[in-house]
Amino acid sequence: MIFEVNRQDFRATQIAPATPIDLKPGQVRLAVERWAFTTNNITYAVAGDMLDYWGFFPTDAPWGRVPGIGLGSVVESANPDIAVGGRYFGFYPMGSEHIVTAKPHGPDGFRDAGVHRANHAVTYTDFRNVEADDTFDVDKADEYLLLWGMFMTSFLVDDMLGDTDFSGAVQTLVTSASSKTSISLASCLAGRNDSRSVGLTSQRNRSFVEGLGLYDQVITYDEVDQLDASVASGVVDMAGNAAVRAAIHNHFDDSLRFSTSVGMTHWDAQQSTGQSGNEALPGPAPEFFFAPSQRAKRVKEWGAEELDDRIDKAFSDLLAGTKSWLQVEHRQGPEAIETTYRDLLEGRAEPSAGFVCSMHEEPLV
């Protein structure tokens, strides 16, 4: 079985039966054990056509399969270089199994070498054997799934901002401050002395965001006009809310030095306007951040090993503090998966909740 979303109507979903497929030479079959389900997955759906997230796991229109960061085990192999039994971290469809045309990569991993993945960044096609990965803490497997992908994006956002000296800004506004991607970015920004951070959130989530202790200041969306408009500022927009973005641009005007779009947690607000919200905005034009591009830049400059070491160290710092704010919740079975999707889509989930899902009904351990 596999969870699918209608690409023309994000509120329409289905659990589709998986068609039995025999393996071809070079392929492996993985039983999908679990995956993280967060607002980041909603962004994958909203940006599915623009960034080809729907192309990860093609299916018949109008349906699409949302990618999820998860764990799976090889249960059948037609690839002489990949043995049955390995447990792998990577992108999976939200279903019970996944077939990959595998190309060995590194000493213990492989990549999805399927024709439909040819144009995707390697970041999205790698599968890592967690049993041979010293950086993977088995005791924090759920936390790793929930935060790793978002932290990597946020680390690269922070790295890009620092690399450009924040374009002269002395404070960085972060929308959707309670989201896990924003929390990851705040963790990175907290380690800097060259820019203060301001978290923007709803009144409902304000106390949670303040309790994180990561932002220098926390305000609600309707308090943007209370900030000093003369302070050189920038915004990292995780919400994708056209009205909020416009309010920030109009308030700071020429004092706004950068406007970086990353997420779309407020996907419905953008859809309701029918516009991107970028039309005739004062200040810099909003630019969409594409993490693989910044990663490729740093791999060229530093080398992959040095970059990964820096990310791993910073990620360890974030993980060490998750006990105070992250509550992992396991949800199993088709009905629970659809419920989780709707909770996230409609913004009903508590910001402290971290959903780890499985198509199987058995409890996760």
- How far is it, in rounded angstroms, from Cα 88 to Cα 71? 5
Tokens read off for 245: 């973005």
pLDDT of res. 263: 64
> 272-288, pLDDT tens digit by residue?
444 444 568 999 999 98
Bridge partners, residue 261, by sequence: 237, 288
Apex 144 CA angle, 125 and 39, nearest 5: 75
**Sheet of strand 256-261, all strands in order from the earlier edge strand to the far edge:** 217-220, 196-201, 171-174, 233-237, 256-261, 287-288
pLDDT of res. 264: 59
State the CATH architecture for 149-292: 3-Layer(aba) Sandwich (3.40)
Q: Exposed, middle or buried: residue 308 (CB in 10 Å: 0-12, 13-18, 19+)? A: middle
pLDDT of res. 267: 47
Query: Is-contact 194 126, C-beta < 8 A?
Result: no
pLDDT of res. 363: 78
- How far is it, in rounded angstroms, from Cα 212 to Cα 183? 8
User: What is the pTM assigned to this prediction?
Assistant: 0.87
Indicate the SS3 state at residue 185: helix
Tokens read off for 121: 């960044």
b/e per residue 226-242 (b: at least 16 CB within 10 A)? ebeeeebbbbbbbbbbb
Query: Is-contact 180 40, C-beta < 8 A?
Result: yes
pLDDT above 70 covers a percentage of the chain that reads: 95
- How far is it, in rounded angstroms, from Cα 346 to Cα 365? 29
Show Cβ contacts of residue 77 under 8 Å, excluding neighbours closer than 6 positions. 23, 27, 28, 29, 83, 84
Regions of the chain with pLDDT less than 50: 266-267, 269, 271-277
Other Cβ atoms less than 10 A from the Cβ of 124: the count is 20
Structural domain spans, the chain: 2-133+326-358, 149-292
b/e per residue 141-154 (b: at least 16 CB within 10 A)? bbbbbbbbbbbbbb
The amino acid sitting at 305 is E
pLDDT of res. 334: 95
Indicate the SS3 state at residue 163: helix
- How far is it, in rounded angstroms, from Cα 4 to Cα 338? 10
Query: Is-contact 48 94, C-beta < 8 A?
Result: no
pLDDT of res. 19: 82
Indicate the SS3 state at residue 350: coil
Query: In this structure, which CATH number among 3.40.50.150, 3.90.180.10, 3.40.50.300, 1.20.1290.10 belongs to the domain 2-133+326-358?
Result: 3.90.180.10
Query: Is-contact 348 321, C-beta < 8 A?
Result: no
> 298-340, pLDDT tens digit by residue?
999 999 889 989 998 999 889 888 989 999 999 999 999 999 9
- How far is it, in rounded angstroms, from Cα 235 to Cα 183? 15
